[in-house]
Amino acid sequence: MPYHGYAWKLVNTNDNAVGAPASGPTLTIDGSMGYKLIKAYIRDYGYGAASVYDGTFGVNFFTSGETWINFDSVEAIRAKAP
């Protein structure tokens, strides 16, 4: 199972749940981010960002300002693997 995520620019930083309005991808051309890039972003810009697991959608996400990043953590992968 690939370990990657996507980064989106939030329309409203106070509305940051799964499905919140976004104005488009951010950080990369299409918003896609590999594991190493997600870890580097957290290290360099997301200090203190707490990952939230959404069991309804089976995905983790965190926000840093107007940047919203979703990814599959160990918890999400366990939930998706039979």
Measured in whole angstroms, the distance separating CA 5 from the mean position of its chain's CA atoms is 6
Residue 73 clears pLDDT 90, i.e. is over it:
no
Alpha-carbon distance of 22 to 15, in angstroms, equals 10
Rounded distance between C-alpha atoms, residue 54 and residue 80, angstroms? 12
In this prediction the pTM is: 0.83
Determine the structural domain holding residue 51 and report its residue range: 4-80
Instruction: Look at the chain and report how many structural domains it folds into.
Output: 1
The CATH number covering residue 73 comes to 3.10.50.10
- What is the per-residue pLDDT for 2? 65
Across the chain, what does the average pLDDT equal? 87
Instruction: List beta partners, residue 5.
Output: 33, 71
At 1 the pLDDT is 62
Rounded distance, CA 20 to CA 55, Å? 16
